[in-house]
Amino acid sequence: MGCPCCKKRKEKNHLTLSADTIVTPVSFSISKDPEACTVHLLGRLDANGAAHLWQTLPTQISKQRTADTLILDLEHLDYLDTAGTVFLFHLKTAGESSGFKQVLMDHLKPEYTAMIELAKTARQTDRKTLQPSDLSFVETRGEKLSVFMAETKEFITYIGEITWALMTSVRHPGSIRWADTFLVAERAGVNALGIVALISFIVGLVMAFQAAIPMQMFGAELYVANLIGIAMVRELGPLMTAIVLAGRSASAFAAEIGTMRINEEIDALTVMGLDPVRFLIVPRIIASTIITPLLTIFSNLVGILGGALVITSMGYPIISYYNQIVSFVEWNDFMGGLLKSFVFGILIAATGCIRGYQTQSGPSAVGISTTRAVVTSIVLIAVFDGIFSIMYYFLGI
């Protein structure tokens, strides 16, 4: 049982809602006389109405070719939007294609005039003139150089900000988010043990097999151990580990920070008074700097084990392989490789974070940033590896 007043109020609201939802459908009628063929449009000519009459009405117009003039009577239109305007010009085109020499719009209401004129102007615009002119070779090179210089300047600016944030964090270790640092170290380091072990083992195995072929000509297969030891410790261990982390960790850093950039989470950190560089980038760089040398040591050991498998298969005892490596590989070789991996870890994390920080808006922005992070990391790794090689050569290391 309810109050009669409440029932009346509900009925009133229901009637009001029903009245608001009534939509007059669009309809048409065609009248003919010797001078003109007139199409009378009634109701709402919106997207639904235009879709309903898009095929039917032009077909009817083509069958009513009894005069030279086609008149579109808009007097009884209750509503007209851009979709309906496009449909009117579609009717005009259909009438001209059917042989009418003249197509007119009659009884056009003043509120629809601006929309009709805008559509007419758009139809008369030559689209070819809107296309940008082709740039010359010099202009194209100059534009790309300008973009490259702007990105380089931005990259250097971020490096400065990251360096200052790292220096500040070292002076105040308590401000470092150690929980996130250890979490990133686990994802970038511990979870990467499998792929690093696989690649390092295969590299050591393949390199030992390839080196054993020419060594057999001199009966010096055991000296393959010297090659495996020095190559893994000085070059291949740090390099292969860095490349794996560039494809695995740099891309992850860029995707994470890029997504935060698009979702405006970085702006939210700034609004809350938190420095995004110290909050997001510093933990990742510290984690990568710690974990890369450890993974490099692991990679060295696994690569040397791969070479040991080849040497033992040739009949040499494992102790001979071990003694050969220990007597040939020096402490300076080991520390030189660790120094490389330390720098590589900083490059990988910084590059991934910076590329993520540079993410623009758009559906493919995160993918572009991820790709750029991996490519830039690998390029920087190769460049700095060459610099270290030249330095070690002149220093006699």
pLDDT tens for residues 157-174?
888 888 888 888 888 888
What single-letter amino acid sits at 185? A
The residues pairing with 45 across neighbouring beta strands, listed in sequence order, are 80
Q: Is the pLDDT of residue 23 over 80?
A: no
Query: In the predicted model, what is the mean pLDDT of residues 40-55?
Result: 85
Sheet containing 27-32: which strands, arranged edge to edge? 27-32, 36-45, 69-80, 102-106
Q: Structure tokens of 167? A: 């220096």
- Residue 338 phi, psi (nearest 5): -65, -40
Q: Is the pLDDT of residue 335 over 60?
A: yes
What single-letter amino acid sits at 335? M
**Architecture of the domain delimited by 27-125:** 2-Layer Sandwich (3.30)
Contact 312, 318 (CB under 8 A): yes
Kindly report the average pLDDT of the chain as a whole number. 83
Residue from 105, 91, 101, 90 nearest 65 by CA: 101
The DSSP secondary-structure symbol of 176 reads: S
Percentage helix, strand, coil, to 5, in the chain? 75, 10, 15
Q: Structure tokens of 123? A: 């139809």
The pLDDT value given to residue 26: 80
The pLDDT value given to residue 112: 83
Where does residue 309 rank: exposed (0-12), middle (13-18), buried (19+ CB within 10 A)?
middle
Q: Which helix (H) or strand (E) holds 287?
A: helix 282-313
Angle at 375 between CA 139 and CA 262, to 5 degrees: 85
Tokens 């459908």, residue?
25
Separation CA 248–CA 252 (nearest Å): 6
Confidence band for 127, pLDDT divided at 50, 70 and 90: low
What single-letter amino acid sits at 372? R
Percent of the chain with pLDDT over 70: 91
Query: In the predicted model, what is the mean pLDDT of residues 29-56?
Result: 84
- Convert the pLDDT of each residue in 172-181 to its tens digit: 888 888 888 8
What single-letter amino acid sits at 380? L
Confidence band for 61, pLDDT divided at 50, 70 and 90: confident
- Convert the pLDDT of each residue in 90-102 to its tens digit: 888 888 888 888 8
| CA 143 to each of CA 134, 147, 148, 149: distance values in angstroms, whole numbers, following the listed order | 13, 6, 9, 10
Query: In the predicted model, what is the mean pLDDT of residues 274-290?
Result: 89
Residue from 234, 237, 241 nearest 204 by CA: 237
Residue from 199, 299, 187, 197 nearest 248 by CA: 187
Residues of the chain with CATH 3.30.750.24: 27-125
Q: Structure tokens of 258? A: 């890029």
Contact 323, 229 (CB under 8 A): no
Size (the chain), residues: 397
- Convert the pLDDT of each residue in 343-394 to its tens digit: 999 999 999 999 988 888 877 889 999 999 999 999 999 999 999 999 988 8
Percent of the chain with pLDDT over 90: 26
Task: List all residues 6 or more positions away from 293 whose beta carbon is below 8 Å from its beta carbon.
Answer: 338, 341, 342, 345
Cα radius of gyration (the chain)? 37
